[in-house]
Amino acid sequence: MEKVLSLGILGIVGVFGIGFGSRAFLLKPLKEADKRIAGLREKLDKVKSERRIYFADEERMKAIAQQMFSERVDLASAKSGEILTKVILQSGLKESDFTRLPVGPRKLRGPTGGASEIGWNVSGDGSVSEVINLIFLLKESPYLNRVENLSVSAGEAPGFVRVRFRYLTLVLEPAPVVEPIDLAQTLTLESPERRAYDGIISRDILRPYVKRRSLPEAGSSGSPAPAANGASPGPESFRIVSLSEWQGEPEIHVRDLTNQKTFRYKPGDPLAGGTVVMVDYRPTPKPGQEIVQSESRVILRFGVEYWAIERGQTLADKRLLKPEQLPRELLGALAP
């Protein structure tokens, strides 16, 4: 009896062993197939995600290309300069009060292509409200652009400021083929968004400090001292405010500080008793402030001597140039 039970138990155990062994043998290929399918699905999902990202980036690059000034660097530089001039005039500013020097092109490289960065170094003077207009219109421009290194400082009269910034844009290389669109300014100086900047104008936070005049003593008339009648302003009343290069031709802008007028000169014109020779754009130490770099100066000829006036100085600040200080273009004139 015990022998029969033992054989029966062994038989049952054997059946279960054979069953589990067969199950493991049959399910192993299925599990491996499931793993391969899961791996393929993961790769497929990754490909689909990359495909969506690619098409999204492609659409984004096409949208950027439609905002470019041009797909050619030279045309983009010319058109951006033209637009910049129009915006200056729209802001109520005077073109003659601004200097625009070209920047770039600077090559930018990426994993799938590149671009050229070009633009303009801009500096000039104007009232607070007009400079705010300029910054607002450039910020809201429909074209692909960026304003950086913006600097605003107090001007020479209350309510006037001096502004400096870089106006930059990109030209994609290669540029995607896109349908041209009409780029129109959506916001104007009459838009409600422009009124958000009025607080800066009303506070006039850049107004130079003016010491309050003391009250007149008892018995005095309190009237200011009369100015010298008929006296003409001296050279210290005329300041070099801009040394620009527009369309390859230098321009010198001189500000009459007494009458608040600006005059434009070119090489060959008489100025300060001499003759304008050229505009020198070599960076050199500023006279009297050697730790400060001066970026430009006008050179005048008085007989056989050459004198220089740095940008920002008055005609009274002219200084005699030694032969070693002259640019190479003028060294030949000194040769015997």
d(CA 16, CA 10): 10
CATH number at residue 98: 3.30.70.60
* pLDDT at res. 181: 74
pLDDT at 107: 86
Query: Within a domain: residue 62?
Result: yes
| Domain shared by 79 and 62, yes or no | no
Contact 287, 268 (CB under 8 A): no
In a domain, 230, yes or no: no
Are 271 and 330 in the same domain?
yes
Residues 89 and 196 in one domain: yes
- CA–CA distance, 295 with 298 (Å, rounded to integer): 11
Q: In which domain, by residue range, is 21 found? A: 1-66
DSSP E strands, 63-137: 98-109, 114-127
Residue-by-residue pLDDT tens, the chain, 336 positions: 666 666 666 666 565 556 555 565 666 676 777 778 888 788 877 877 777 776 676 777 777 778 888 888 888 888 888 889 899 999 999 888 888 888 878 888 765 568 889 889 999 888 888 999 999 999 888 888 899 999 888 776 667 888 999 999 988 887 777 777 777 788 888 888 888 887 777 666 555 554 444 433 333 333 333 444 445 677 888 988 888 766 667 888 888 888 878 888 889 999 888 999 988 888 888 887 777 778 788 999 998 899 999 988 899 889 998 888 888 888 765 554
d(CA 12, CA 4): 12
103 and 193 together in one domain: yes
**What's residue 18's pLDDT?**
62
221 belongs to a structural domain = no
In a domain, residue 215? The reply is no
Structural domain ending residue among the three candidates 33, 66, 99? 66
Determine, yes or no, domain membership for 213. no
Question: Which residues, in sequence order, are bridge partners of residue 153?
Answer: 162
Query: In this predicted structure, what is the pLDDT of residue 308?
Result: 92
| 91 falls within a domain | yes
Domain end position, chosen among 66, 84, 99:
66
Q: In this structure, are 78 and 169 located in the same domain?
A: yes
pLDDT of residue 223: 35
Q: Is the domain of 275 the same as that of 325?
A: yes
Clarify whether residues 107 and 195 are in a common domain: yes
With respect to residue 61, please indicate whether it lies within any of the assigned structural domains: yes
Q: Could you tell me which of 136, 124, 122, 117 has the C-alpha nearest to residue 97?
A: 124
Contact 136, 188 (CB under 8 A): no
Query: In the prediction, which pLDDT does 203 show?
Result: 64
- Residues 137 and 172 occupy one common structural domain: yes
Does any domain span residue 34? yes
**Same domain assignment for residues 266 and 164:** no
Residues 172 and 246 in one domain: no
* Domain count across the chain: 3
Distance from CA of residue 232 to its chain's centroid? 41
